[in-house]
């Protein structure tokens, strides 16, 4: 007689262990063992994994890859503690990086360019400045070195169809929160949000992930990108100089109750864009942006 289910076997007064039948008098002990085994199985299936990153406590993450994508900008890939870990960062939020530099603890916030469902790692896009603190520290990292990070943090968290249209203005690595949102929108067939992105850089070589942005705009009509360069090459067909009111009027959704404008970039640029958008009839940018704001600065 073959009894593949221990519970059925126990109810029948016998249980098969290897090739032997257990004496019914031992059933209480066998039943306890079976119950313990099933409890462990169920616990493994239902236990909630500890998130790889904590919003309050800094944890170490090891650098496993580094790829330059412009003369002074690189993609840094960091391993999560386990190969099957997910960062699960809410779309539009960022993480904080802390380092001790010249005896002082200094922190900066960065939005990963990797998607929240990428398995086992996250990627940061960092532009290095000669006089920078954290950015210079990144440029000096070698494979195997670790950083201290915590998160998520931030006031913005994107949800599908939260508004009819989104206008984005970014400069340089200010691309990163925009890219997360753009990717989330275009890969969700139920999300009908229209996205218009003005992306400003100094030179064409400085445009981060241009190939991906161009491909996304070709494949998804709901997403349009307009590049602006301070130093444009001969034959350049995009914008030239600084982002101005005429560019915003032409390439951004008009002020309305069901749109949002997102800003991210160097502080002088964000300050200038805040004034121009207000002059064009968009809501005034608050000192600290909140999710309900029409114009949100990261």
Residue 188 in tokens: 């969700």
CA nearest 3: which of 11, 21, 15, 18?
15
Q: Is 191 annotated as a binding residue?
A: yes
Check whether 24 is labelled as a binding-site residue. no
Distance CA 218, CA 58 (A): 40
Active site residue 121: no
> Residue 224 and residue 201: Cα distance in Å, rounded?
17
Q: Is 264 a catalytic residue?
A: yes
CA distance 13 to 27: 8
C-alpha 269/C-alpha 246 separation (Å) is 16
212 annotated as ligand-binding:
no
Q: Where are the beta strands (DSSP E) in 87-205?
A: 94-101, 104-110, 121-127, 146-153, 165-171, 194-201
Residue 102 assigned to a binding site: no
Asked whether residue 208 is marked as a ligand-binding residue, the answer is: no
Q: Is the peptide bond before 192 cis (omega within 30 degrees of 0)?
A: no
- Residue 167 assigned as binding residue: yes
CB atoms within 10 A of CB 136: 15
Candidate list 73, 125, 158, 264, residue with the active-site label: 264
Q: Is 291 annotated as a binding residue?
A: no
Residue 103 annotated in ligand binding: no
Active site residue 110: yes
What distance in Å separates the CA atoms of residue 173 and residue 134, rounded to the nearest whole number? Answer: 14
Residue 177 known to bind ligand: yes
Contact 129/141 with Cβ under 8 angstroms?
A: no
Comparing CA positions, the residue from 66, 183, 162 lying closest to residue 115 is 183
Catalytic residue among 76, 94, 125, 277: 94
Check the annotation: does 39 bind a ligand: no
Two structure tokens written together for 13: 């007064």
140 labeled binding residue? yes
User: Which structure tokens are listed for 173?
Assistant: 């690595």
Q: Is 211 annotated as a binding residue?
A: no
Residue 21 is labelled as binding a ligand: no
Residue 151 annotated as binding site: yes
Q: Which of 76, 110, 227, 282 is catalytic?
A: 110
Task: For residue 264, give the 3-state DSSP assignment.
Answer: strand
With H, G, I as helix, E, B as strand and everything else as coil, classify residue 113. Answer: coil
List, edge to edge, every strand of the sheet that includes 223-229. Answer: 239-240, 223-229, 194-201, 165-171, 259-264, 295-297
Q: Per the residue annotation, which of 58, 69, 76, 111 is the catalytic one?
A: 111
Would you say 180 is a known binding-site residue? yes
The answer to whether 286 is annotated as binding is no
Q: Is residue 251 annotated as a catalytic residue, yes or no?
A: no
Binding residue per annotation — 170?
Answer: yes
Enumerate the known binding-site residues.
139-154, 165-197
Kindly list the catalytic residues.
94, 110-111, 264
Enumerate the known binding-site residues for FAD.
139-154, 165-197
């Amino acid at each position: 007689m073959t009894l593949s289910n221990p519970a059925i076997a126990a109810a029948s007064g016998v249980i098969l262990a290897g090739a032997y039948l257990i004496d019914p008098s031992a059933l209480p002990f066998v039943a306890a063992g079976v119950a313990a085994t099933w409890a462990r199985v169920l616990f493994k299936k239902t236990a909630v994994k500890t998130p790889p990153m904590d919003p309050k406590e800094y944890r170490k993450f090891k650098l496993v890859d580094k790829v330059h994508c412009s003369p002074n900008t690189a993609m840094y890939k960091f391993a999560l503690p386990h190969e099957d870990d997910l960062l699960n960062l809410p779309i539009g939020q960022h993480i904080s990086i802390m380092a001790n530099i010249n005896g002082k603890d200094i922190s900066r916030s960065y939005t990963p360019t990797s998607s929240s469902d990428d398995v086992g790692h996250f990627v940061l896009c960092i532009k290095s400045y000669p006089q920078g603190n954290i950015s210079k520290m990144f440029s000096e990292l070698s494979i195997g070195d670790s950083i201290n990070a915590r998160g998520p943090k931030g006031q913005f968290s994107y949800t599908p169809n939260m508004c009819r249209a989104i206008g984005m203005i970014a400069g340089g690595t200010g691309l990163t929160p925009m890219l997360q949102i753009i990717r989330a929108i275009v890969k969700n067939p139920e999300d009908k949000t229209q996205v218009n992105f003005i992306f400003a850089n100094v030179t064409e070589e400085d445009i981060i992930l241009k190939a991906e942005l161009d491909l996304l705009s070709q494949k998804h009509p709901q997403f349009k990108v307009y590049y602006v360069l301070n130093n444009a090459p001969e034959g350049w067909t995009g914008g030239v100089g600084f982002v101005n009111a005429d560019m915003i009027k032409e390439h951004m959704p008009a002020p309305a109750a069901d749109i949002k404008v997102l800003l991210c970039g160097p502080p002088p640029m964000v300050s200038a864009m805040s004034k121009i958008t207000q002059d064009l009839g968009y809501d005034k940018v608050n000192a600290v942006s909140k999710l309900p704001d029409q114009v949100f600065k990261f």
